[in-house]
Amino acid sequence: MRLNRRLFLLGGGVAAAGVLAGRSFARPRAPDAALPVEVSARPIDHLSVTDQGRSRFGDLQFRGGLDLRSSESRFGGFSGLWRSADGRRLVSVADNAQWLTARALNADGRLAGLADAKLAPLLSWDGRPLGRTRYYDTESLTISGGVAYVGIERRHAIVRFEWDADGVAARARPVKLPDAFRGTIEALGSNQGLEAIGVAPPRSPLAGALVAVAESPPRHGEPIPGFILTGAHRGEFSIRRSNGYDVSDLAFLPSGDMLLLERQFSIFGGFRSRLRRVAADAVKSGAEVDGAVIYESDASHEIDNMEGLAVHQEDGSTVLTLISDNNFSPLQRTLLLEFSLEP
């Protein structure tokens, strides 16, 4: 159930206010070892509940979605998302330092469910569950070149895992952040840290570079900080903030253009989501970038706290997948939504 006006009137406003203030429901501890979970999926055939004949939203074509549920209390909190090149494998990271791995099932070109779903703890460099260390607030994920990168928001850190070699048994290794960026990064609030990460694709001017973006600016009225962390074009850039939206994830298109998933929240209006597209050649050291809005939700849309974004190719189409973080709250939902990006 979305945190909307109806929910507020039913008493959900108290929970909504807690989310807004950063006080989500208590995070359950990640499992000590890989744990198979049964996941049920209710299909979402229409994005708009008031205009069910509509499938085009901005530059996106809605393909379908799922409302995911499990009797396992640790299922939820998903903040980062990755799908394999063919879309069949799915990996997500939750903000209690656990992995979700699964196979994405399709029927007639639409998401139909998850199979072989497992939860597993992210492991620290010494083999302990990462959730039992100060690096527990895992918020973002990208996998490239066989390596999984995970952003740790409250510690302003990034760790890497040898994913192709070891999967969920891989141990975290810190990614050294350039000293030149330390001042900007440390000025971010504890809950405004590195919310989005991605690796620029081969066609990007930044090919192979690890890029990170903060959730929100350190001070009101300023742009949102971004960082090109590796490669020959290292540097800081910024993103123009508008209409009260904060960044929740990023992903690169094959062309090198960068997609920003953004969200906005109000007690009475609930969650809103937006996608912006930033031209590949605009992301460079010293630049302040903006981007065309290619999708923006309204109150009729089947969304929740959309936090994760993944891009893959399927049958010649560029597919965008969004996942929501339910904050481990029974008042929210774990949604998986698919769109095609129209040419």
pLDDT tens-digit series, residues 44-95: 999 999 999 999 999 999 999 999 999 999 999 999 999 999 999 999 999 9
Q: Do 150 and 161 form a contact (C-beta atoms < 8 A)? A: yes
5-341: which CATH topology? Tachylectin-2; Chain A (2.115.10)
Q: Do 181 and 131 form a contact (C-beta atoms < 8 A)? A: no
Strands 235-239 and 288-289: parallel
pLDDT tens-digit series, residues 16-57: 444 444 445 678 989 888 999 999 999 999 999 999 999 999
DSSP 269-334: TEEEEEEEEE-GGG--TT-EE--EEEEE--TTB----EEEEEEEEETTEEEEEEEE--TT-TTS-E
How does pLDDT run along the chain (343 residues), one tens digit per residue? Answer: 333 433 433 334 434 444 444 445 678 989 888 999 999 999 999 999 999 999 999 999 999 999 999 999 999 999 999 999 999 999 999 999 999 999 999 998 899 999 999 999 999 999 999 999 988 889 999 999 999 999 998 888 999 999 999 999 999 999 999 999 988 988 887 777 899 999 999 999 999 999 999 999 988 889 999 999 999 999 999 999 999 999 999 999 999 999 999 999 988 889 999 999 999 999 999 999 999 999 999 999 999 999 999 999 998 999 999 999 999 999 999 999 999 998 7
Largest pairwise CA distance in the chain: 54
- Domain limits of the chain? 5-341
Q: Which amino acid is located at 86 in the chain? A: D
